[in-house]
């Protein structure tokens, strides 16, 4: 287990004011991580305000939790440029929005923040354009692996270069993400954490009643691999025809074509009676409750894999593809010590075999799930992540105020 981070004492100068910038208010992985991070931040030490570039469900969830939110609307054409559009197009798009940038700078000045923290790639780039005018330290929170299997080559190259020079520091959501950012001067890893409620959840003592349900929860996207699950479903259903499959989540950020492909594959394989594509779930815990096994089928190394920790905390047996952050979550090693079954990406045969292993040996699966529950609730609390990020914000604010004092001292009178 990592060493405990000592709690910070409040600063006599008052809490650090941090503006957290996100271009989207849809509830993606980074946004859920932000909600939990803020739930665990000590408000006597940090005074956060979230600046969103569009209204949406994240705004409501933040406000319900008592957080200050400001919306500075960004032209939808820029906001919805997909991650695969390329850095040049993204930067051009950003450059066509000087009005937005002027508003953003004015808003951040009015909010009088000490630190600017950006939590999505678009917010990183726009934050980079706004921060010099503010003379405030910029912290990037990177939730994506900045690699060419995940982003277009030029985007990855540009983001890596900027990460070295522009932000004061970078927070990576896993060691795997951190490894894609070579040469960054100040780089810390803060795994997205489980909420207080998730940490307190009791492990499952038995599998749900009825026919087995194999599920996948997350955005529909080629990198998440719903298509691999559908193909594995055909194999599983051939041996266990009573098995049902639930694909929970919706297409977002331009992946509607992929959703069509997944639906077509379900039809083509004659699986319409077995596979349900149920859309976005307001409460993923209700979905987890019905699952006999939770599948994580990413086809490229996952930056972190929040849904894996969530399923484990909820006591659900997990089958996941190895690589990226998943290797930091799942314990492998001697039989009897592992916390999930791991398979190679894009391999429907291995995936089907692992799912069948869970269905055929339920006692082993429950034992593994109980170990996983104990392990992730001990290692991945949002409180731990909040401590890491809070001390970085304090350091950034302290460094900035010392620099300002020095500038003041050398100014000729």
CA–CA gap between residue 224 and residue 227 (Å, rounded)? 9
| By CB under 6 A, residue 296 contacts ligand GLC | no
Q: Is residue 35 within 8 Å of residue 192, measured between CB atoms?
A: no
245 touches 215 (CB < 8 A): yes
Residue 151 found at the interface with ligand GLC (CB under 6 A): no
CB 301 within 8 A of CB 323: yes
Contact predicate 59/30, CB 8 Å: no
The verdict on 29 binding ligand GLC (CB under 6 A) reads yes
Q: Does 304 bind ligand GLC (CB under 6 A)?
A: yes
Least distance from ligand GLC to the Cβ atom of residue 196, Å: 18
- When binding is defined by CB under 6 A, the residue of 28, 48, 127, 315 that contacts ligand GLC is 28
Q: Nearest approach, Cβ of 409 to ligand GLC (angstroms)?
A: 41
Site string for ligand GLC, 162-181 (x = CB under 6 A): -----------x--------
**Number of neighbours of residue 53 by Cβ within 10 angstroms:** 25
From residue 403, give the alpha-carbon distance in Å to each of 137, 407, 408: 11, 6, 9
Tell which positions 187-206 bind ligand GLC, by CB under 6 A. Answer: 192
d(CA 354, CA 97): 49
**Could you tell me the smallest distance in angstroms from the CB atom of residue 270 to ligand GLC?**
32
Q: How many CA atoms lie within 13 A of 305 on its CB side?
A: 33
Burial (0-12, 13-18, 19+ Cβ within 10 Å), 128: buried
Binding part of the chain for ligand GLC, among 7-15, 25-33, 237-245, 354-362 by CB under 6 A, reads 25-33
Task: Please report which helix (H) or strand (E) contains residue 102, including its range.
Answer: helix 98-111
Instruction: Map the footprint of ligand GLC across residues 111-150, applying CB under 6 A.
Output: 143
Compute φ and ψ for 46, nearest 5 degrees: -130, 135
- Token pair in block for residue 97: 């929005």
* By the rule CB under 6 A, 30 interacts with ligand GLC: yes
DSSP string, 215-272: EEES-B-TTTTHHHHHHHHHHHHHH-TT-EEEEEB-B-SS-HHHHHHHHHHHHHTT-T
Strand partners for 295: 319
Q: Which of 305, 315, 317, 385 binds ligand GLC (CB under 6 A)?
A: 305
Closest approach, Cβ 46 to ligand GLC, in A, equals: 19
CB nearer to ligand GLC: give 143 or 244. 143
387 binds ligand GLC (CB under 6 A): no
Secondary structure E strands in 23-114: 46-52, 68-71
Distance separating alpha carbons of residues 349 and 364, to the nearest angstrom: 21
Toward ligand GLC, which CB reaches closer, 57 or 210? 57
Instruction: Count the site residues for ligand GLC by CB under 6 A.
Output: 13
Contact between 67 and ligand GLC per CB under 6 A? no
Q: Is 33 in the site for ligand GLC (CB under 6 A)?
A: yes
Pick between residue 114 and residue 259 the one whose CB is nearest to ligand GLC: 259
Q: Considering beta carbons, is residue 303 or 315 the nearer one to ligand GLC? A: 303
Q: Which residue is nearest to ligand GLC (CB)?
A: 29
Given candidates 124, 302, 348, 375, which one binds ligand GLC under the rule CB under 6 A? Answer: 302
Binding map of ligand GLC across residues 204-243, x = CB under 6 A, - = no contact: ----------------------------------------
What is the token pair recorded at 141?
């929170």
- Residue of the chain from 221, 255, 306, 387 that contacts ligand GLC (CB under 6 A): 306
Say how far apart CA 127 and CA 118 lie, in whole Å: 7
Q: Which span (28-36, 226-234, 285-293, 395-403) binds ligand GLC, by CB under 6 A?
A: 28-36
Contacts with ligand GLC, residue ranges (CB under 6 A) = 28-30, 33, 143, 173, 192, 302-306, 325
């Amino acid at each position: 287990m990592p060493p405990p981070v000592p709690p910070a004492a409040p600063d006599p100068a008052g809490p650090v004011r941090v503006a957290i910038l996100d271009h989207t208010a849809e509830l993606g992985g980074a946004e859920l991580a932000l909600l939990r991070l803020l739930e665990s931040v000590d408000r006597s030490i940090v005074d956060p305000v979230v600046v969103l570039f569009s209204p949406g469900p994240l705004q409501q969830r933040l406000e319900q939790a008592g957080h200050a939110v400001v919306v500075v609307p960004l032209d939808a054409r820029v906001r919805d440029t997909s991650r695969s559009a390329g850095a040049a197009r993204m930067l051009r798009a950003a450059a066509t929005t000087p009005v937005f940038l002027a508003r953003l700078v004015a808003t951040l000045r009015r909010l009088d923040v000490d630190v600017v923290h950006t939590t999505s790639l678009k917010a990183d780039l726009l934050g980079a354009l706004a921060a010099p005018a503010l003379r405030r330290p910029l912290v990037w929170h990177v939730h994506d692996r900045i690699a060419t299997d995940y982003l277009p080559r030029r985007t990855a190259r540009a983001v890596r270069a900027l990460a070295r020079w522009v932000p004061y520091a970078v927070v990576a959501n896993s060691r795997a993400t951190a490894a894609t950012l070579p040469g960054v001067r100040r780089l810390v890893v803060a795994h997205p954490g489980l909420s207080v409620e998730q940490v307190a959840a009791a492990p499952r003592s038995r599998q749900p009643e009825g026919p087995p349900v194999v599920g996948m929860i997350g955005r529909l996207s080629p990198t998440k691999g719903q298509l691999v699950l559908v193909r594995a479903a055909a194999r599983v259903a051939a041996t266990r025809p009573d098995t049902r499959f639930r694909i929970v989540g919706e297409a977002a950020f331009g992946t509607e074509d992929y959703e069509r492909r997944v639906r077509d594959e379900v039809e083509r394989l004659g699986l319409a009676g077995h596979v349900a594509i149920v859309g976005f779930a307001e409460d993923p815990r209700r979905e987890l409750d019905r699952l006999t096994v939770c599948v994580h089928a990413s086809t490229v190394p996952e930056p972190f894999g929040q849904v894996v920790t969530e399923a484990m905390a909820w006591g659900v047996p997990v089958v996941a593809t190895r690589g990226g952050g998943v290797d930091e979550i799942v314990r492998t090693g001697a039989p009897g010590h592992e916390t999930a079954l791991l398979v190679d990406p894009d391999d429907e045969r291995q995936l089907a075999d692992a799912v069948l292993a869970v269905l055929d040996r339920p006692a082993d699966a429950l034992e593994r799930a109980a170990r996983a529950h104990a392990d992730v609730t001990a290692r991945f609390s949002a409180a731990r992540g909040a401590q890491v990020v809070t001390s970085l914000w304090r350091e950034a604010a302290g460094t900035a105020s010392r620099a300002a004092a020095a500038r003041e001292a050398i100014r000729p009178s």
